[in-house]
Structure 1
Amino acid sequence: MSAIVGIVAAVAIIILAALTDGDPLSSLFSLTAVLIVFGGTFTALVTQFGAKSVLTAFARCKWLVKPPSVDMHAFIEQVAIWSNLARSQGALALESELESIVDPFQKQGLQMIIDNMAEEEMLPTLEAMAAHAARDDIIASEVWEAAGGYLPTIGVMGAVLGLIHVMMRLDHPAELGEGVATAFVATIYGVGSANLLALPLGARLGMLAEARERERHLIVQGLMLLKQGKSGILIRQTMQVLLSDQKKPPEAAADEAPGNALPEAA
């Protein structure tokens, strides 16, 4: 939600600055500039990424209101419960838990355990699924960051086109000032939307995508511990350590962690 507040505040500041100088609000609007800057940027993005990825980038904007996340503490407790159930009644007893799982990634992983997939096959499969999901998440960030590069350039192009139109009407001196001002509105749209919207939005979505990737890594670790038949107590202890390591700075975690391998059964 803070991202939405930031975007609205940025637009409000620009409008307030224009009104403070006594400029009419209409001076900031030009349909021609809108078509050139935003239409041109959209077509450039579709050319680079394809329509599906561009639409996905727009759809991911809902993350600004409700960022996707997994309650890792609740997941750790759930895996421990699953472990106790599987150790007492067998892996097939976990089938009754599938309907209560909302996260598709967790559900697919638990289904692999129920289907008794071999451990050496399950781990690379989960990692491949996690990598594919991470790619779907990060593409939205890449689209918005690319838009941040296109917008200023196309804004300048819009300004130049506007000046060409002005030059063709030099025989109407009274219209020159208004015409030049309108031409530079395209530059405002391009530079402003790139630096106040596209680039910050791309960076924010990238941060959320990285957080989801870290969560999936922990989910894989938990599912593999469950597959290995670890006890609920050991799963809680191991996952809590992994979770605390993720919250440390990378340098500190690298110094303290003995490695990424899962602990052997006691």
Structure 2
Amino acid sequence: MDFLSIIGVLLGFSAIIGGNLLGGGEITALINMHAMVIVVGGTLGATLLQFPPRVFFRSLRILIWIFKPQNFQLKKQIEKIVRWSTLARKEGLLGLESVIDMEKDNFSRKGLQLLVDGSEPEVIRECLEVELSTKEHLDMQAARVFESMGGYSPTIGIIGAVIGLIHVMQHLANPELLGSGIATAFVATIYGVGLANLLFIPIANKLKSHIFLASQAREMVIEGISSIAEGENPRNIELKLSGFLLENND
């Protein structure tokens, strides 16, 4: 569980609401369904228009990474690759057949299968890099869904503000009707800018960081399996893969 994400969301919205209360405002002043419909509906509509269904639904699936990120455990993965290398040197590449069925990661399993099938190191690397590139591209497109929402929502908020001002102009002769128009105008702007800077843009950037870590883990698998195919010493493979470890991992 990523507690920083939870704290960040709570702290961000609490700061807005708390600041409003400290300034003598009321929570109800920040609640306006007209503004919410305009900003959320308009932002979602523009986003659906921009992205194909595959990318949009992918963005919903990876949203969970914000609060429950993937745990790649690079050190344990290196240890596993070294064990594969040791087994291959003792029993040959066919000795890795028993490992394939036990491997849970589809990407690693594909690499092992190519290895057992006797593919050349260059072929193994090319096949895995194609899959890595494709998956990284799809995930980055999914992250850009939220990035785009962060760009649209402030503008939609301005549209909501203009709509509210239009209502104000239409009811200048009826002062009792001016309040709702003015409220929609200002609250729509708050919703648009707030959602962009407290949710959409931070979510997009955090997803990009997770995608980078995922790509790094797969690059390590590619390098490890290719090294096994080339017959490198397990100790050398371990030293080579240790370069993938970041200071903040594990």
TM-score computed with the length of structure 2 as normaliser: 0.91
The answer to which of 229-238 and 1-10 deviates more is 229-238
Identity between Structure 1 and Structure 2 (%) = 35
AA at the equivalent of 1:214: Q
Residue 247 of structure 1: CA displacement?
5.5
Task: State the Cα deviation string for residues 115-155 of structure 1 (Å, max 9, x = none).
Answer: 22222322111111111121122123211111111010000
Cα deviation 1:40-74 (Å, max 9, x = unaligned): 11111111112332232232221122211322211
Amino acid at match of 1:54: F
Seen in structure 2, the aligned counterparts of structure 1 residues 43 and 178 have a Cα distance that, compared at 3 Å, is: closer
- In the alignment, what sits opposite 1:84? 86
Match of 1:187 among 181, 186, 189: 189
Q: Whole-Å Cα distance in 2 between the matches of residues 163 and 101 of structure 1?
A: 61
- Comparing 7-16 with 51-60, which one deviates more in the overlay? 51-60
Task: Give runs of aligned pairs for residues 52-63 of structure 1, distance below 5 A.
Answer: 52-63=54-65
C-alpha contact 1:45 1:143 (8 A) present in aligned 2: yes
Q: What amino acid sits opposite 1:87 in the alignment?
A: R
> In 1, Cα distance between the equivalents of 2:117 and 2:41?
50
The reply to whether residue 177 of structure 1 matches residue 182 of structure 2 is no
Task: Return the letter of the residue paired with 1:238.
Answer: K
Partner of 1:34: 36
1:51 aligns with 2:57: no
SS in 2 for 1:7: helix
Measured against aligned partners, the alpha-carbon deviations of 1:168-219 in whole angstroms (never above 9, x if no partner) come to: 2222112213430232111100011111111111111111111222222111
**Aligned partner of residue 69 in structure 1, secondary structure:** coil
Where 1:174 maps in the other structure, the secondary structure is helix
Give the conservation status (yes or no) of the 8 Å contact 1:83–1:226.
Answer: yes
Q: Which amino acid letter does the alignment assign opposite residue 150 of structure 1?
A: Y
| Structure 1 pair 26–55 and aligned structure 2 pair: CA distance change class (3 A) | farther
Mark the runs of 5 or more structure 2 residues left unpaired by the alignment: none
Task: Give yes or no for contact 1:30–1:182 (8 Å, CA) kept in 2.
Answer: yes
How far the C-alpha of 1:110 sits from its partner, in A, is: 0.8
Aligned to 1:260: none
Structure 1 residues 33, 178: closer, same or farther in 2, change over 3 A?
closer
Q: How does 1:145-164 map to 2 (within 5 A)?
A: 145-164=147-166
SS of 1:139 mapped into structure 2: helix
Residue equivalent to 1:8: 10
Match of 1:222 in 2: 224
Structure 1 range deviating more: 39-48 or 92-101 = 92-101
C-alpha contact (below 8 Å) 2:164/2:183 kept by paired residues: no
Distance change in 2, residues 1:68/1:13 (3 Å): same
Distance, in Å, in 1 between the alignment partners of 2:14 and 2:247 is: 36
2:111 aligned to which of 101, 109, 118: 109
Deviation at 1:15, TM superposition (A): 1.1
Q: State the alpha-carbon separation in 2 of the partners of residues 138 and 33 from structure 1.
A: 30
Instruction: Give the SS at the match of 2:24.
Output: coil
Q: Distance in 1 between matches of 2:221 and 2:122?
A: 17
- Coordinate RMSD, CA, aligned: 1.8
Query: Counterpart amino acid of 2:216?
Result: R
- Paired residues in the alignment total 246
Which residue of structure 1 lines up, in the alignment, with residue 169 of structure 2? 167
Q: Which sits farther off after the overlay, 27-36 or 188-197?
A: 27-36
Query: Which amino acid is the alignment partner of residue 40 of structure 2?
Result: F
Q: Partners of 1:117 and 1:231 in 2: how far apart?
A: 19
Contact 2:47–2:148 (CA under 8 A) maintained in structure 1: yes
Equivalent residue number for residue 262 of structure 1: none
